[in-house]
Structure formats: structure tokens, C-alpha cells
Structure 1
């Protein structure tokens, strides 16, 4: 019985792990090209990302997943800002502003597979009038593990592809492109 009690904390550690910092988002070439292919688009002054209640952080198996940018909304904001800048669509004096609200932000790491969902409401304003308003959602599934030290980093590594796919969904929306013209 005593041996079982001694093994319980070790077993718990194997299942869990520790907090992980995800990698920096790298701008996606296809996303940037998608924006560049439909000129002339008008620039935005900024992208401002916030999170709905309970959606501003990530936990996987009770371990925090953090961003090198600080918070998760700042991580998504940096991604959007980088891609808009590379596409030549960022100008601080522009009359358009993109407000983003993270409405679903979830990563799980099961024993055999992990899954994640990222959803955001995108509102493009021109001189404080709404010209585009839509919610986009993306999901992903990846290989996971029984062991936390493998499963948790795998989940953290799956977040940037979710961000990339969410932005691709936005940039592919003809109504968003029309609102930028």
C-alpha cells in the first residue's frame, strides 16, 4: 500500500507536465500573398485584439500555455499586425481599424490525439462605422501522448497553425476584401 502511495505523485507528474511557452508566430507567406493579390486594398491603422471572458488564456492538462508576446490576445494581435504590415496594409493614419474579439480559445491534449478550436469576431471599422463584421472559427486535430511532457508541448505547437488558419479564413472572405477596397 505504501508503494502505491509513493508512486501516485510520480504517476501524476507523468500525466501532467509543466507550463510551456509557444513559439513566436511566423507570418504566413500564403496569407500575405492572398492580401497582396487583390489590390488596391486600403490599409488599416491597427488591429486591436481582446478576449471574451475566460478566453484570454490557454490551459492544457492544468498547465498554462503562454505566449512570447505576453498574453494570448497579444500573440494573435502580433500575428495579424505582422501579416498586414508585410502586405503593405498597415498605416497608423488610415481611417480603417480592425477590432478582434477572441470568442473561443481552446486546446486539449488527450491520450491519443489533441484538438484545438480558435474563433474570433472580426469587426472592421471605417471612421467608426462598421463596414465588416463576422465571426470565423477553425479547428485542428493532432497526435498527442499519454505523457504530459510530450502532450503539452504538442498542444502548444498546434496553436500557431490555428492562428494561421483563422487569419486565412478572414483574408479569404470576399466581404472582408470588399470592405478593404
Structure 2
């Protein structure tokens, strides 16, 4: 493993997603209808947003693509809220526009994620909005320190993005009964 870190050919897996429970608790107080999660795009593993490199090492999703990671995070959150129903007429679709963890800095790493979210009820589009989240975390010049920190940050980046979505009144209104 140490040799792989030095040569930059190791592959790392993003950590499992964990929700921001305070945000979900706030969302639980809203009269939200049952929600389905449509497919999150792009599904092509070769798409640039589905490929993250950490100083020559690849960061992969435990679900195959980062689009599927986001899809599973949405499903997990809606299940936690007890509003998830794959057959619901209200559906959330998403397209990842930007998705990156940057550990090229000497002391600081950053993450950026931008996602276009659409909410449909039947054939009516109730929301089409782009959300962006950024994170900043302590990193290091040493790859053996920076790479695991970048790997660990991915879950925080997705949580930060979804927090912005869930706190947006336009998104809440689109999901209301």
C-alpha cells in the first residue's frame, strides 16, 4: 500500500454517505409528499464528473459512479424522512455538472460539487435549479496524508450539497403535497 501511495497508482473508495440529521429533522416538519428518485446523470463511468483523481490516485464511488452515489444518498435521505416511494408521482432527478476534490494545495484541500436538480409531479416540472457546494479541509504537501484526507472529504461534500438543496424553500415547495 505504501508503494502504491508513492507511485500514485492506488485506487481509493469514497466513504459511505451519512446524512446531515439536523437538516433532515427540519425537513421532516414540512408537509412533503411521497417522493421517488429518478436516475441521476451522467451514468457513464467515463464521464468527467464520475472520475476524481487525487494526485494520480483514483477516487471511486462504492456504487460504481458518483452519479449513483448521489442517487443512493437521495434515496437514503428520503427513506430517513419516511417519504421515499419509487412509484410516487413526485420525482427528483439530478444531473451532476461539477464534482471534484482538489488536494494539490500545500496545506488546504477543496471540494466542489454542482448539481442541477429537477422536481416533477407527473408531467409538470415544479423545479429546475442548480445548486453548488464547496468544502475546504486541512491537507498536506505529503501525498500519504493528503490523499486519505481527500478521500474522507467526499462524503462531506455530498452532505454539504444536499443540505443546500434541502434547506432551499423552492425545493421544499416543489415537494409539498
Q: Please indicate the TM-score interval, normalised by the length of the shorter structure.
A: 0.7 to 0.9
Structure 2 gaps of 5+ residues are: none
The answer to whether structure 1 residue 20 and structure 2 residue 15 are counterparts is no
Q: Which runs of 4+ in 1 moved over 3 A?
A: 12-17
Q: Which of these residues, 131, 138, 153, is aligned with residue 133 of structure 2?
A: 138
Instruction: Quote how far apart the aligned CAs of 1:17 are.
Output: 6.3
Aligned length: 171
Instruction: Quote how far apart the aligned CAs of 1:144 are.
Output: 1.0
The answer to whether structure 1 residue 174 and structure 2 residue 169 are counterparts is yes
| Residue aligning to 1:6 | none
Cα deviation, 1:51-93, whole Å, max 9, x if unaligned, reads 3942122111121101222211111111111001110121122
Q: Which of these residues, 36, 52, 64, is aligned with residue 45 of structure 1?
A: 36
Q: Rg larger in 1 or in 2?
A: 1
**RMSD of Structure 2 on Structure 1 (CA):** 2.2
Flag the 1:111–1:179 CA change in 2: closer, same or farther, 3 A: same
What CA distance in whole angstroms lies between the structure 2 residues aligned with 1:166 and 1:174?
15
| Residue aligning to 1:122 | 117
The answer to whether structure 1 residue 81 and structure 2 residue 75 are counterparts is yes
Instruction: Quote how far apart the aligned CAs of 1:34 are.
Output: 2.3
Structure 1 gaps of 5+ residues are: 1-11
